Chain A
Amino acid sequence: MSAALRSREALLVAVIALLLAVIASRFPGFVAPSNLSAVLYDTAPLILLALGQTAVILTRCIDLSVAANLALTGMLCAMLNAAAPGVPVVAILVLAAGMGAVLGAINGILVWKLTIPPIVVTLGTMTVYRGLIFVVSDGAWVNAHEMSAAFTGFPRQAVLGLPVLSWIALAAAALALVAIVRTPLGRALYAVGGNPSAAVYAGIDVGRTQFLAFVLSGTLAGLTGYLWVARYAVAYVDIAAGFELEVVAACVIGGISIAGGAGTVVGTLLGALFLGIVKNALPVVGVSPFWQLAISGAAIVVAVAFNARAQRRRGRIILRRAEAGS
């Protein structure tokens, strides 16, 4: 099984390398280190949300409310900054993560305690959160000149050559890598998604694990909410509209099985980078906007086809092992 997954990641690395080579042949400037750093900067929000989504999808759930959560938290942070420019960025970061966690916990509670299917819950809360942005903001924008310099400057501030936003995404990825392999929760995510009944017998609370996955996803979405708003220096009702599908796409391309229990953090990371590179490259190589959608969609379908194959292989391996054991 691990061999199959390893080959999946190797495959993605190969695809990304090939993609970069093709782009470089048409537009050499794209692979300059400064531009690749810009691509990472641009992809950082996607990476952050995809990491949270990975935890959720591993437990056989899905979180469609992440983009709405991001937008609501982002709007509240922007409004807070406009009203009280003196509040330090650290406080805003904590607040954003906390707000996001609460919004994620609402999803988690509904899935855990009321056992409503996650797709229905998050479809509902997605609409509720978008509506709430409208209620709190009255539909008005928060614009660049209303935000303080510290507020908008934080994510783009360069530390050791990379903007803070990129560092946050890399740090989150590193934490996730360790947490998913080395912590009980990380292992529980796989157990719950892989086989919920077996997980119960192993003493894992399935509902609680799913709840925690939603809280994690919400926290990252909230944190990204502030970073997004600060980065684009504008907050309005529709920010990140439709972004949740991109996040799910990054996970799927990265080999996270929608059926739960399979996939790796590295895969998610590569999936997000693949989408980020495609999104950033298409404008510079001058591909028609109509093709851009088709290309992104095709990548997802191909990835799902690969996922299906990977799962079949896994089944065979388990049987073989059982045979060998007997």
Chain B
Amino acid sequence: MSMTRRLFGGTALAAMTLSAGMATAQDDPLRIALVVKALGIGFFEAAAEGAEQAAEELGNVEIIYTGPTDTTAEGQIEVINALIAQQVDAIAVSANDTDALVPALKKAMQRGITVISWDSGVAPEGRELHLNPSSNPLIGNMIIKLAADHLPDGGEVAVLSASATATNQNTWIAEMEKVLGDYPGIEVVATVYGDDLADKSYREAQGLMQAHPDLAAIIAPTSVGIVAAAQAVEDAGKIGEVNVTGLGLPSEMAGAIASGASKSFAIWNPIDLGYSATMLAYQLATDQAEAAPGAEIDMGRMGTLTLDDNTEGAMADPFVYDASNIDQFKDIF
């Protein structure tokens, strides 16, 4: 019963969009929805900018930038259901939960919508491919390298993470520990959790400096944590003694680079990420490529994405920002 209603509803909607399409243009634009973890996060705003760049390059592509107002899976499911009702052509999602979105995304794929995940992935049955901004080993290596580069004689470093249950943080830290042997003299003395709250991260950073007076670097692979740690180092008068590094956004870290609390940090370029996700969604939605293990899919200016056995691929190395290029990027994202 409800199925018939839905079908009729769908037909009516299709008829409406068809007539609207005829009124304005010959071809309906290909509509690609960029679903983010939450609206209003600089990183995702920048990704949306990249998506627009891709749309411009491709022509006849409309980007729908959307997401919930807080980072919940429930909110994203609502957004996805709304997009299914609008019959978009493709959904590219950065998921708040690996599994919770699968039923909604499966439904979308059954309706012929191309579904890919990017940044934060969805379980394989809920998407056609997943675009990692970088690979976990590359990031793990990068964050320790950033600290080690400024410590030629070695020293004590500590990790300031987000929450103790954040999957991506834990994976990066685990990968970092694997390559620790490549950086002789570098010792990781503690891992603490700031829960992505400015005040808690600040307090944890203060605690690190007190508990480990010889601390030479704080690695924070989270954008809230790195800013708070830099502020804590500055307030403690330890600029030059403790270097704050990790993953952060240029706009948020510009002050810390200027004060010297942070010598360098890294992040993948979210503009490139949004651009690549859009390119991939376009390739799949127009059947120019198929997501299968081993497939190589074109990402325009970002080269090609090679899929592994889980139909996942890595876009590029994290990009390093320091005093030499921060001014160029701080107004972008």
Binding site for B on A (CB under 8 A): 27, 29-30, 35, 38, 42, 45, 131, 134, 137-141, 143-145, 156, 228, 232-234, 236-243, 279-280, 282-286, 289-290
A196 and B45 CA atoms in complex are apart in Å by 52
- Are A233 and B207 also in contact (CB < 8 A) when A139-B39, A140-B42, A289-B164 are? no
A182 and B41 CA atoms in complex are apart in Å by 48
Asked whether A145 lies within 8 Å of B42 as measured between CB atoms, the reply is no
Asked whether B41 lies within 8 Å of A284 as measured between CB atoms, the reply is no
Check if B75 is an interface residue, CB within 8 A of chain A.
no
- Beyond contacts A138-B40, A238-B197: 10 other A-B pairs, Cβ-Cβ < 8 A, are A42-B206, A141-B42, A141-B252, A144-B254, A234-B252, A240-B199, A243-B199, A280-B206, A284-B211, A286-B211
**B235 vs chain A, min Cβ distance (A):** 6
Q: Name the B residues within 8 Å of A282 (CB-CB).
A: 207
In the complex, 29 of the A-B residue pairs with CB atoms within 8 angstroms, ordered by the A residue number, are A27-B210, A27-B211, A30-B210, A35-B210, A38-B206, A42-B206, A131-B69, A134-B39, A134-B40, A134-B69, A139-B38, A141-B42, A143-B252, A143-B255, A144-B227, A228-B199, A232-B198, A232-B199, A234-B228, A239-B198, A279-B200, A283-B192, A283-B207, A283-B211, A284-B207, A286-B190, A289-B164, A289-B193, A290-B164
Nearest to B201 among chain A residues (CB) is A232
Nearest to A233 among chain B residues (CB) is B231
**B254 vs chain A, min Cβ distance (A):** 4
Check if B58 is an interface residue, CB within 8 A of chain A.
no
- Are A156 and B251 also in contact (CB < 8 A) when A137-B40, A284-B210 are? no
**B162 vs chain A, min Cβ distance (A):** 11
B198-217: contact bitstring with A at CB < 8 Å (1 yes, 0 no)?
A: 11101110111011000000
**B109 vs chain A, min Cβ distance (A):** 30
Q: Name the A residues within 8 Å of B42 (CB-CB).
A: 140-141
**B188 vs chain A, min Cβ distance (A):** 14
Partner of B202, one of A27, A29, A143, A232: A232
Q: Name the B residues within 8 Å of A42 (CB-CB).
A: 199, 203, 206
Q: Name the A residues within 8 Å of B39 (CB-CB).
A: 134, 139
Check if B174 is an interface residue, CB within 8 A of chain A.
no
- Are A280 and B207 also in contact (CB < 8 A) when A134-B40, A139-B45, A144-B255 are? yes
Check if B115 is an interface residue, CB within 8 A of chain A.
no
Q: Name the A residues within 8 Å of B38 (CB-CB).
A: 139
Partner of B258, one of A145, A234, A237, A239: A145
Asked whether A145 lies within 8 Å of B45 as measured between CB atoms, the reply is no
